[in-house]
Amino acid sequence: MPTRREMWDKLGEPVDFLIIGGGINGAGIARDAARRGLKVALVEMNDLAYGTSSRSSKLVHGGLRYLEHMEFSLVFEAVSERRILMDIAPHLVNPLGFLFPIYDSSRQGLLTLRAGMWLYDGLSLFRSPKLHRSLTPKGVADEEPLLRQKGLKGAPLYYDCSTDDARLTLESALDAVKAGAVVATWARCTELIRDPSGKVGGAVIRDELGGEERRIEASVVINATGPWTDRTLSLSQALDAPLLRPTKGVHIVVPANRLPVRHAVVCLHPSDGRVLFAIPWGDVTYLGTTDTDWEGDPAELAADAADVRYLIDAANEYFPTGGLQPADVISTWAGLRPLMRPVAKKGEKIDESAVSREHQVVVGQDGIVTIAGGKLTTFRKMSAEVVDTGVKLLRMVKPPMRLSPAYTDREPLPGAIGWPEDDDHAKVAEQVAEAAQGNLSPVSALNLVDTYGMRAMEIARMVVKEPSLATPLSPDRPELEAQVRWAAREELAATVTDVLLRRTQVFYRAKDQGLAAATRVAEILADELGWSAEERERSVQEYAREVALSRRWQEETSSAD
C-alpha cells in the first residue's frame, strides 16, 4: 500500500472523476467508480473520515423511528443496506440488541410498538440479525437490572448493528486504491478550475503537510464534503442560499461500571422526547445524540456544557440509581449532520429533528456534482447513485466507454476477505494469537480482529518479527505499537491524531484519551515517515489540541460552578 506521500506524488494526471472529500460518501464513490474501471482521484483536506464520518452514533440501522412518520421506503432501503454491510464487512458491522422500554407516560403504546416491530422485521424480509422479542417488566429487569422499573409496561428487544464508522470509511477507501484509485489525504482543494464555457473541469490541490500545489484536470468533479458542502460550492460561484442546514450531534463516553448496559437502550429525553441511545462499547458506555442547529466553522465543533448535561439528565432519568455526573465523562465527540435545508413556508419554523435525513444528488449549472444528506447505513447505495450521475455527464464529453459492474454489494472490504462464515470473532482471535506465537494477549488479539478483520494476521506476523511491537499504547487499553507502524505503512496515517482518533479508538476510550501515548506514537511515526524533531513535536501538540477541544465543555462547567 502506498504511503500518504506516495499517494500525493501520484496526483497530477487528468482523471475521469475527481472526488473532493474523504468521508464515507467520498470513499464509497471512489470505491464504486474505480471498480467500474474509471480513472479516479480522491482528495481530502485532512484525514479520511475526519468530519462526520468518524463522529456518528456508530450504528448501522434501519431507522425504526422513521416508521412513525410512515417513511417505509426509507426504512426498507436502510434495512436492505444493513444486510449488505453485514455481508461485506462482518468484522466491522456487528449485531447489537436494542431495548426500547415503554412506560405509562410513553407516547407510544406497547401494542403499537409491537406492531411496528413486526413491520420492521418484515421490511427487512425477516433478515434482521435476529427477530425481535417482547419482554415483560420482569424480563426487562433480567436484561437491564438498572433500568427504571416504576411505570414500566414492557419492552421490545430488537436488533440492528454497531460499527466503527472511521474504519468503514477507511476500508472503503483502501478498496478503492486496490481498484486503481488515487486517494490523497491532507490535500486541500483551494480552487475549482473552469473551462471557457464556465464548466468546472478540475481543481487546484494543496499538500497541507508539504505546501506544494498541483492542478488536476477532471471530466467530472464531485463534491462530497459533508458539512463543508456550501464552502466547497462557493469556490465555484457565489451561493444565493445555503444548500445545507447542518445540525450538531454530541455523544459522551463514560466508564461501563458507571453505566453498565448489556444492550443499546432507547431513551426518550424527559424534556423534549428526542430519541437517544445508551450504547455498550466494551469497557465504556456512550450516550447520544443531541440535535441542534450549527452555523459555525465545522472544524471548531465541540460539545458544550449544555450538551453534556442534556445527555446526563436523560441517563439519570432511565437509570436513576446510577447518579451519573459530569466528572464521570471520559471523552466527548461532536459531529455535524450535513442535512439538506428544507423549504419552509412563510412564517413556518421547522424543528431540527424534523429536517429530512434523505439525501440528494444535485448537478449544478457549472457541472459540479454534489451529494448531501443521507445516513451512514445507506452510503453504498448513495455512492452508486452519484457514480451513475457522473457517468451520464462523462458520456457527454467522452466517447462511450465499456465499464465493468462494481459489485460493491457483494465484494468484501479488505478485512473481510477470508472471514469465516460462522462470523466467530473469538475463533479468529485464537488463530491470530497462535500466529503471533505467544506475543499477543487474548484481549489484544481480539481487538486486532475486531479492528482489522483477517488482516490482523499480518499484524501478528509483524509482532513475531519484532516482539516489542506488542507493547500497549496505553496501560488500560489493548491497542499496540504495531498498529502505529501498520497505520503509517498500510492505512495512509500521517499524524498522531490520525492514529489515536481514527485508526484506533484510544482517543475515545483511554482514561487520559491517549495523551500519555502521543509522544511514543509520534516517535514511531517519525521513524516510519522520516519526520524531523520539530515535525514530531508539532504532531503531538496538534493531538493535544484535539483532546482539549473535546474537553472544552469542562471549562464552561467549572465557570458555571
Domains 4-53+166-241+360-397 and 419-554 share a fold: no
- Sign for the pseudo-dihedral over CA of 68, 72, 78, 82: positive
Under CATH, which number does the domain 4-53+166-241+360-397 receive?
3.50.50.60
Cα radius of gyration (the chain): 23
Q: Which amino acid is at 381?
A: K
Instruction: Give residue limits of the domains in the chain.
Output: 4-53+166-241+360-397, 66-162+245-337, 419-554
Place of cell 499538500: 207
Set of cell numbers at residue 379: 452510503
CA distances from 111 to 106, 147, 410 (A): 12, 21, 38
Q: In angstroms, rounded to a whole number, what is the distance separating the alpha carbons of residues 272 and 352?
A: 12
pTM above 0.85, yes or no: yes
**What kind of fold does domain 66-162+245-337 have according to CATH?**
D-Amino Acid Oxidase; Chain A, domain 2 (3.30.9)
Give the other-Cβ count within 10 Å of 511's Cβ.
Answer: 16
Q: In angstroms, rounded to a whole number, what is the distance separating the alpha carbons of residues 379 and 384?
A: 9
**What kind of fold does domain 419-554 have according to CATH?**
Helicase, Ruva Protein; domain 3 (1.10.8)
Are the CB atoms for 183 and 164 separated by under 8 Å?
no
Closest by alpha carbon to 180, among 42, 27, 35? 35
> Which SS3 state, helix, strand or coil, does residue 413 take?
coil
Give the other-Cβ count within 10 Å of 351's Cβ.
Answer: 10
pLDDT per residue rounded down to tens, the chain (561 residues)? 888 999 999 999 999 999 999 999 999 999 999 999 999 999 999 999 999 999 999 999 988 877 776 777 888 888 999 999 999 999 999 999 999 999 998 877 677 787 888 888 888 777 778 888 999 999 999 999 999 999 999 999 999 999 999 999 999 999 999 999 999 999 999 999 998 888 999 999 999 999 999 999 999 999 999 999 999 988 887 667 788 889 999 999 999 999 999 999 999 999 998 999 999 999 999 999 999 998 888 989 999 999 999 999 999 999 999 899 999 999 999 999 988 775 433 443 434 444 455 778 989 889 999 998 889 999 999 999 999 999 999 998 888 788 999 999 999 999 999 999 999 999 999 999 999 999 999 999 999 999 999 999 999 999 999 999 999 999 889 999 999 999 999 999 999 999 999 999 999 999 999 999 999 999 999 999 999 999 999 999 999 999 999 999 998 776 665
Q: CB pairs under 8 A, 24+ apart, for 509-512?
A: 509/253, 509/281, 509/282, 509/283, 509/284, 509/330, 509/331, 509/477, 510/330, 510/474, 510/476, 510/477, 511/330, 511/474, 511/476, 512/474
Q: In angstroms, rounded to a whole number, what is the distance separating the alpha carbons of residues 139 and 227?
A: 43
H-helix or E-strand containing 215?
A: strand 213-223
Residue-level pLDDT at 351: 45
Set of cell numbers at residue 211: 505546501
Residue-level pLDDT at 357: 57
Set of cell numbers at residue 420: 469465516
